[in-house]
Amino acid sequence: MLCRRDRIADARTPGSFLAGCLVGMAVGVAVGILLAPDSGQSTRGRMARRAGQTRDQVMDAVGGIIGRREPRGAEAEVEVDPV
């Protein structure tokens, strides 16, 4: 008979970890398929639109930051040149 420590050690083997991952993936896929609100094509289109919007927002934010930084840099160059 295995003692408690031996059972815990057996449960920590790579094979049991892999089996747990596979079972978790299978359950996740099944739940995702059953509860998906839209078709795959519709979902991919929505994700692409959101990714494009996020990219545009990031580009606008970066452009705004760069736009605010450039005048200060130009002023600093003008102030430094006469010295």
What type of residue is 40? G
Which 3 state secondary structure label does DSSP give 1? coil
pTM for this prediction: 0.41
Residues 14 and 45 in one domain: no
Residues 46 and 75 in one domain: yes
pLDDT of amino acid 36: 82
Of residues 1 and 58, more confidence is placed in: 58
Kindly state the average pLDDT of the residues 31-39.
Answer: 84
| CA 37/CA 26 separation, integer angstroms | 19
Residues 22 and 50 in one domain: no
Residues 69 and 83 in one domain: yes
Look at the chain and report how many structural domains it folds into: 2
In this structure, the dihedral spanned by the alpha carbons of residues 46, 47, 51 and 54, taken in order and rounded to 10 degrees, is: 70
Domain of residue 49, residue span: 38-83
Residues 49 and 82 in one domain: yes
Of residues 72 and 48, more confidence is placed in: 48
Residues 10 and 50 in one domain: no
Residues 12 and 49 in one domain: no
